Structure 1
Amino acid sequence: MASKSEDPENTKDSMTGPTSVSQMDLVAGDDDCKMRGSGLWKWVMMVCNFVVLSFCLGLNYGMWPLVEGLKPYYEDYNYDRDQIDLKWIVYINILMVGITAPLASLLVYRGKYGARIAALCGAFLSTIGLLISGFVRSAEALCATYGLITGIGYGLLLTPCIGLLPMYFPTRYTLANAISFTGTSLCIFYVPSLFDYAAQTYGKHSTFIILACLNAQLLVVAALFRPIEQFSSESSPKFLDRCKRLKEKFFSDCEKALFGTIITSMFFIGVGYNILLLHLRRFSIYNGTSRTDSRIVLNVCGVFMIIGQVVHGILTLFEKVRKDEQTYRRFFYSLSLFGVALVSLLSSVAESFAGHAALAAIIGLGCGMYFPLMFVLLRYSLTVNGDSRLTGALAFGLPVFGIGALIGLPIGDLLNEGFDNYNSSFFLAGAALMLVVVIMAYKLVTFLRKTMQRRQSRRVNGAAPAGHDSAHQH
């Protein structure tokens, strides 16, 4: 049976979006019970999430072919050094998106700033970083512009974006989140094709300028974020007092949740998820697939990612799944992780184009399911008085994900160079994801056992009064 915070069917939506809350509720991050959205605006917010996730989480995987083809534009680097150093612009960007989440969460929780201001700052910084990247001529400068500046901007934009969606979809959040995450998969399609067209028409280096123009639409998207109504500091408790109260509530309820487990799994997913998507095309080329066919392999992965995202969202509409949605979420999460981990460990079997396409399909289907579900589970893993705190949970989860990517990707590169094949990095990704499967399977079994015990206890407690009354009458 779904928990109270997951199934607020009796809550009436507001026609004007999120309503005002007290300052204490704001600092605690009341994502579910105080604010509701309905009507057209909730769909506007879902589209905003779609666009933001396309850039913040999907751009790096789509632009990877461009990174590998930028060598002629950096004359002061030799070929080998360019191929190694240029990868770090993506690695640093993923890291900065993650470790900026605590700052973004703080800006959102402080009533003085709010989600809209944090998102606008992020959209502005990311656009400036991409624009400057179009004029630099060294790998170090590109790491500073695209890696640092754009990464920080995306981090400030991503956290309030993901955190706002549950406010507008309190009862269908899993489905709305799944649809929003299809933007990350679509980037695998249109970004490489866009880069090819821009490179042939304007030159590869001008692609960053074109990308900056497209990224500027995030300023409009961020302006659509409806901020929480501001309050004067005179009527609100002191900031240190609010932090102390939040700390007491957080640690008292965190022991009963899956928060630590989900945070741990995000580290290993940061290792496996990024290795698989960034190395998939190069893996197929290394094993004899042509560059044209390797692009098809990447597109197959993107198609099945969309299928996985849509399918697991639609499943939540069925009555049987809704009755015990918490159990089904964990089951789908563990099952999809297991499938991706298994095919990654067996990746050496794929030798032909058909084998690589099948490998990409399974990886895409699994990643499309477990990656959005990771944020759904994170939402319900950190609770205060029964209410979820997604924005606060992201301040812990996204840095762990980014650190996992920064550690896993270079290790995967070293393994590929040391063993002279790309199977090594896939083994690393598979081992990292399989470890998450073991952890989640243990937690799932423990959760099911406790659920059965609670149900049996309710039956016993419900039958005892009836038996007592009948004996008394007799």
Structure 2
Amino acid sequence: MADVKRRRGAKPLDGGWGWVVVGSCFMVTVCTRAVTRCISIFFVEFQSHFGADYAATSWIHSLVDCTTMLCAPVGSLVGNRWSCRVAVMLGGLLSSCGLLLSSFSTSLELLYLTMGVLTGLGFALCYTPSMALVGVYFRRRRALAYGVAVSGSGIGTLVLAPAVQLLIEAYSWRGALLVLSGLVANLCVCGALLRPIEQRDCEEEAESEEEEAESEWEEKPGVSAYRVPGLASQDAELAVGPAPPAQGRRGFLSGQEFRFLLLPGFLVLAASFLLLACGCSLPFVYLVPYALSAGVRHQRAALLMSVLGVLDILGNISFGWLTDCRCLKPYLLTSYVIAVVMEGVACLLLPLLRSFTLLVPFAVVYGYFDGAYVALIPVVTARVVGARSLSSALGVVYFLHAIPYLLSPPIGGWLVDVTGSYSATFLLSGVSLLSSAAVLSAAAGIQRCRRRPAPPTAAKS
């Protein structure tokens, strides 16, 4: 009777406690991605205190970002082995301790370890499991839920950037890091609110999710239609949600958790995401220097980044809501490709824009569609691998972003030094983004052609 009541009363998907999970994930993105963006505000203080140059201090930001992405699979493994709650609370403890120790640092090398590696590892344990749990709680409104969750990055940056500057002026950089350590410690509270869903609570919803997840590459152009020999029953399992550890399972790693790597659909997505990561960060790094080289005043050039941030937030939420509408939901992959294509075209046109009046529309278009595709990455991934493997898959997806995020800005700077202009850098960004969209579009077209019914043969006599 207890199990029956529990199953009748449990309606975890598309509402209820799911919105608490979205709110917690929103705060996770504030405390991880927004705090990471604000680390660069400390660079001037670090340079004057330690007598270092900008290149040396910039490695702190690179290490935080790269460690967060490289260790994303570790966060997935911890979340799968124990629970998302354990992973986020452990990550909050590690990242808070990292910032706390950084406030007592006596050398730049120690900051590399405490702020770069330890804090980045804590962020990795928090980010991926919390994002995956949102995909488990939501099915029909999954894109909107992810849009609200990832908007914490933009909103948090708008609020924290001026707040961190005020803290530095009032308490020095050490005091500001202490306050940030206390803020990041709230990740433990966010983790406590991430109530896991047991498998039996989601089985009924899984059946309808599998029917709804007929991909655009099957009858419509989507991704989850791929089938791998020997894994015929995989889809029914994958749509259930994070499964509790199987009894008798030994070892930390399990081949069952990473069998999605055998899906051709996921391999196509991985290649597309790798190309995407090579180009998406360059405009954020070089837009302001390019605007200054075009004769735009410093204040107006900085305003372009504010426009990017605000439109990024609008893209997160509005595009997520739009793609959840009944008319667009069957075309989720198409919407994602359009967002990436718009970004690529905008980057290719950017060298032609040589005034503030023309650069504002670029910031509007690029910022909006950047927020759009970021909100759709987990949704598209869930269509390929299902909700149960979403945590592990997102860990791999974010891992693929690590090296391009680390190397593409220096490569872009090298192109500026060699060519004497920013055109080659933005051309690299645009080509990478368009190539990412082309990989998905080509795979979709090939899959549709292979599934097209054969022409009727002549009747046998």
Return the TM-score normalized by structure 1: 0.78
2:145 matched to which residue of 1?
A: 176
Matches within 5 A, 1:17-96: 36-37=12-13, 39-67=15-43, 70-75=46-51, 77=52, 82-96=53-67
Distance in 2, Cα, partners of 1:427 & 1:205: 41
C-alpha spacing 1:416/1:192, structure 2 compared with 1 (3 Å): farther
Q: Among residues 343, 348, 367, which one is paired with 2:346 in the alignment? A: 343
Correspondence for 2:275 among 268, 276, 301: 268
Q: Is the 8 A contact 1:63 1:195 kept in 2?
A: no
**Does the aligned pair in 2 maintain the 1:119–1:160 contact within 8 Å?**
yes
Q: Is contact 2:14–2:140 with CA below 8 Å preserved after alignment?
A: no
Distance (whole Å) between structure 2 residues aligned to residue 183 and residue 135 of structure 1: 29
Instruction: Indicate if the aligned counterparts of 1:381 and 1:388 stay in contact, CA closer than 8 A.
Output: no
3-state secondary structure, aligned to 1:161 = helix
Instruction: Give yes or no for contact 2:310–2:367 (8 Å, CA) kept in 1.
Output: yes
Task: Kindly provide the CA deviation profile for residues 413-461 of structure 1, in whole angstroms up to 9, marking residues without a partner as x.
Answer: 333344454444333322221211221221232344456x26x99xx8x
CA displacement 1:267-308 (0-9 Å, x = unmatched): 222222222223333433343333322331111001111222
Bigger shift: residues 301-310 or 149-158? 301-310
Counterpart pick for 1:142 among 111, 128, 132? 111
Q: Residue 309 of structure 2 corresponds to which residue in structure 1?
A: 302
State the secondary structure of the residue aligned to 1:86.
Answer: helix
Distance, in Å, in 1 between the alignment partners of 2:174 and 2:354 is: 34
Match of 1:289 among 290, 293, 296: 296
Which deviates further from its counterpart, 101-110 or 407-416? 407-416
Please state if 1:331 is matched with 2:334. yes
What's 2:436 paired with?
A: 436
| Structure 1 residues 375 and 167: alpha-carbon distance in aligned structure 2, compared to 1, 3 A threshold | closer
Mapped partners of 2:419, 2:93: distance in 1: 43
Alpha carbon RMSD of aligned pairs, Å?
Answer: 3.1
Distance 1:283 1:85, change over 3 A: farther
Cα–Cα, structure 1 residues 280 and 201, in superposed 2: closer, same or farther, change >3 Å? farther
- CA 1:403–1:15: 2 relative to 1, 3 Å: farther
Q: After alignment, is 153-162 or 63-72 more displaced? A: 63-72
The question of whether the paired residues in 1 share the 8 Å contact of 2:88 and 2:129 is answered with: yes
Give the whole-Å Cα distance in 2 for the aligned partners of 1:245 and 1:203.
49
Q: Could you give the per-residue CA deviations for residues 120-176 of structure 1, whole angstroms, max 9, x where no partner exists?
A: 110011111122222325432222222111110000011110111122112211111
Quote the residue 2:180 is aligned against.
Answer: 211
State the partner residue of 1:243: 254
Q: Distance in 1 between matches of 2:76 and 2:256?
A: 17
Q: Using the alignment, how far apart are the partners of 2:286 and 2:9 within structure 1? A: 46
The separation in 2 between residues aligned to 1:354 and 1:62, in whole angstroms, is 28
Give 1:398-409 correspondences, 5 Å limit. Answer: 398-409=398-409
**Match in the other structure for 2:427:** 427
Give a deviation string over 1:220-270, Cα, whole Å, max 9, x none: 11111224669999x8133269935556x5466x13xx2011111222222
Q: Which residue of 2 aligns with 1:355?
A: 358
Give the AA of the match of 2:123. Y
**SS at 1:154 equivalent:** helix
- Distance apart, 1:93 and its partner CA: 1.2
Contact 2:148 2:317 (8 Å CA) reproduced: yes
Q: Is the 8 A contact 1:98 1:402 kept in 2?
A: yes
1:467 aligned partner: none
Q: Is the alpha carbon distance of 1:172 and 1:15 closer, same or farther for their aligned partners in structure 2, counting shifts above 3 Å?
A: farther
Match status 1:192 vs 2:161: yes
- Indicate the larger mover: 224-233 or 297-306: 224-233
Partner amino acid for 2:88?
A: A
The answer to whether structure 1 residue 318 and structure 2 residue 325 are counterparts is yes
Q: In 1, are the aligned partners of 2:64 and 2:116 still within 8 Å (CA)?
A: yes
Q: Write out per-residue CA displacement over residues 81-134 of structure 1, whole angstroms, 9 at most, x where no aligned residue.
A: x21122211111111111212222222222xx2221111110011111122222
For structure 2, the residue ranges without an aligned partner over 5 or more in a row are: 1-5, 200-242, 457-461
Indicate the residue corresponding to 1:372 in structure 2: 375
Q: State the AA in 1 paired with 2:190.
A: V
d(CA) in 2 for partners of 1:285, 1:192: 21
Pair 1:84–1:427, CA change in 2 (3 A) = farther
TM-score by length of 2: 0.80
Contact persistence 1:73–1:205 (CA under 8 A): no
Secondary structure of the corresponding residue to residue 126 of structure 1: helix
Return closer, same or farther for 1:365/1:449 CA change in 2, 3 Å cut-off: farther
Give the whole-Å Cα distance in 2 for the aligned partners of 1:232 and 1:431. Answer: 43
3-state DSSP of counterpart to 1:58: helix
Extract structure 1 runs of 4+ deviating beyond 6 A: 229-233
1:340–1:363 CA contact under 8 A, matched in 2? yes
Classify the secondary structure of the residue corresponding to 1:226: coil
Structure 1 residues 144 and 50, CA, compared in 2 at 3 Å: closer, same or farther?
same
Contact 1:94–1:402 (Cα < 8 Å) also in 2: yes
Q: Calculate percent identity across the aligned residue pairs.
A: 23
CA separation of 1:106 and 1:316: change in aligned 2, threshold 3 A: same
Q: What is the CA–CA distance in structure 1 between the aligned matches of 2:105 and 2:251, rounded to whole Å? A: 43
CA distance in 1, matches of 2:425, 2:132: 33
Q: Between Structure 1 and Structure 2, how many residues are aligned?
A: 411
8 Å CA contact 2:30, 2:153 repeated in 1: yes
1:280 aligns with 2:283: no
Where does structure 1 lack aligned partners over 5 or more consecutive residues? 1-11, 18-35, 461-474
